[in-house]
Amino acid sequence: MNQPATPSPAFRQPDFTLPLGACDTHCHILGPVARFPYADSRPYTPAESGKTVLSALHERIGVDRTVIVQATVYGSNNRIVLDAIADRPQTRRGVALIDAGTSDADLQALHDGGIRAVRFGFIRHLWVPPDPTMFHRLMERIALFGWHVLLHVDATGLDDLQPLLDALPVPFVIDHMGRIDAAGGLAQPGFVRLLEWARRDHCWVKVSAIDRLSATGAPFADVAPFVRALIDASPDRLLWGTDFPHPNPRHPVADDADLVDVLPLCGDADAMQKLLVDNPARLYGFID
């Protein structure tokens, strides 16, 4: 799907002030295509939204640290993420896409460049799920670097993946709150199972892409009860991310400040400190 318009980095400063050291743990960089061409086999063609756009957004909404997730349109060529991290190596980390062709030397170069995780998808209409044997071998290899794995999966499919997840030698992070739908309410089976998984010591959850989860759209307040429930279940293993520049959105995000201003509805100052600062600092190795 083509996306012809470059998203705005933000139109206003948020009303809520993020704490010092706040981290956006899920955002993407796209282009410039002349320097970082998309893969021929990409699943969609997004508009350009380069690192200067991301930096401007973060400066405006008050983000100090960043985790850049390799976009699927680049496949396993992670050069664009490494380039952005190199600009600010103390405050940026990355999540890579790798495959069976990724060598040990490649992994070392990624680690040296600030990569701290890899991402795999198990949603068949968006990803080709990895071969289980290959996946397990890759997990053993990234474990040597102290990385974790980011999983793009529907919460309703977590139980089907239990044998795979139970065998992981690394922590795993569930993307986008397991893609639950706020319209389904707190008692929907997928969210009930997500809460159960979130209580496990090796499982983390990203409070990200809430524009996709919201049934009502901006200001996305209908997602707040779900975040509060996750904070109650697992306050020390939650992360927050914008998902900027919002590929394939459910609702147009006119202003990313809305994603910040919903946070006070989700928890108190202590909860926000953990969600926004302490938890990502611990998982991604940010050091003051």
d(CA 63, CA 44): 28
- Residue 117: C-alpha distances to residues 9, 114, 212 (Å): 25, 9, 23
d(CA 268, CA 23): 17
β-bridge pairing 92-96 and 148-152: unpaired
Q: Which of 73, 70, 75 lies closest to 94 in space, CA to CA?
A: 70
Which amino acid does the sequence have at 79?
Answer: R
Report, as residue numbers or ranges, the catalytic residues.
243
Tokens of 5: 């318009």
Geometric angle at alpha carbon 124, from 119 and 126, rounded to 5°: 65
β-bridge pairing 203-208 and 92-96: unpaired
Q: Which of 139, 175, 219 lies closest to 67 in space, CA to CA?
A: 175
- Residue 238: C-alpha distances to residues 109, 155, 175, 185, 273 (Å): 28, 15, 11, 20, 11
Q: CB–CB of 259/13 below 8 Å?
A: no
Tell me if residue 182 falls in helix, strand or coil.
Answer: helix
Tokens of 267: 């928890």
